[in-house]
Structure 1
């Protein structure tokens, strides 16, 4: 039955719930002996980063305008 409890890595190793510390790359290379590891982590391109910054700047300007911080003349 699920208890809702969780442990950090050090506690899990001490309790026998995990063998040792590691990450996905370690397991792929050392345990599975994969010759090549491909990282499929999604990454933002330059256009996406710029769009987010531009959007944040627009949002900040809108908040300032709503608070009366910018005069609309």
Structure 2
């Protein structure tokens, strides 16, 4: 995962994000809380970015989802 302000990386990276309340993501037209998770870091501009789609969403080392898109 890359920070929005930084360029692409050839090194595998990770970012710590929080599971957000679905209401916090309702302004995204393509977000469907019935079958999608919304994660983010409300204190920092961190999210998924270019090249992250298809990567795992892990919680305590266990895959719980697949990264789809970021904003």
Task: State TM-score, norm by structure 1.
Answer: 0.15
The structure where strand makes up a greater share of residues is 2
Task: State TM-score, norm by structure 2.
Answer: 0.15
RCO comparison, higher one (Cα < 8 Å, 6+): 2
